Structure 1
Amino acid sequence: MPESRFLLLSDVAAELNVSDSQVYHLVRSGELSAIKIGGRGQWRVERTKLEEYIAEKYAETAAWVRDNPLSDRETD
């Protein structure tokens, strides 16, 4: 069975191992792209947008690690 194109916020939370409210904040802040659909305005995140978000976080983390090397005290 093929994967769904769109994910519920709870699905995204499970993928990222964070709370539903954290995902809602990411969406409402614009950090994670999502769409509102239906009469009740339910949020959906496209799987490709989630993968792009994850890739961006890896790049940001790599840059942070590069710019903030371990000190001698942290390696002990």
Structure 2
Amino acid sequence: MEARFLLLSDVAAELNVSDSQVYHMVRSGELPAIKIGGRGQWRVERAKLEEYIQSKYAETAAWVRDNPMGERETPPAE
């Protein structure tokens, strides 16, 4: 059974970004999270992370639709 709540480091690994990027996303309110315990540790509910990912897919699809790639444009190198 998967854990309901994830550490910020787990979220970072899932999204393949840095821990500090996830912390900023949480602190800015972009990614819903809760603060628990006496030391105020952040946790992200797995369902909220999945909702966030889906919203980013929709946001990206809208951006792509509104910004078509020109003939001479080349994709960025990875």
Is there any run of 5+ residues in structure 2 with no aligned partner, and where?
Answer: none
Moved over 4 A (4+): none
Corresponding residue number in structure 2 for 1:72: 71
SS in 1 for 2:44: strand
Larger helix percent: 1
Residue 27 of structure 2 is aligned to residue 28 of structure 1: yes
Alignment of 1:31-70 (within 5 A): 31-70=30-69
Q: Report the Cα distance in structure 2 between the residues aligned to 1:66 and 1:12, rounded to whole angstroms.
A: 28
Give the number of aligned pairs. 74
- RMSD of aligned alpha carbons: 0.7
Supply the distance in 1 between the matched residues of 2:64 and 2:36 (Cα, whole angstroms): 38
Counting aligned pairs with the same residue, the percent is 86
Aligned to 2:72, the other structure's residue is in SS state helix
Unaligned runs of at least 5 residues, structure 1? none
1:6 Cα shift? 0.1
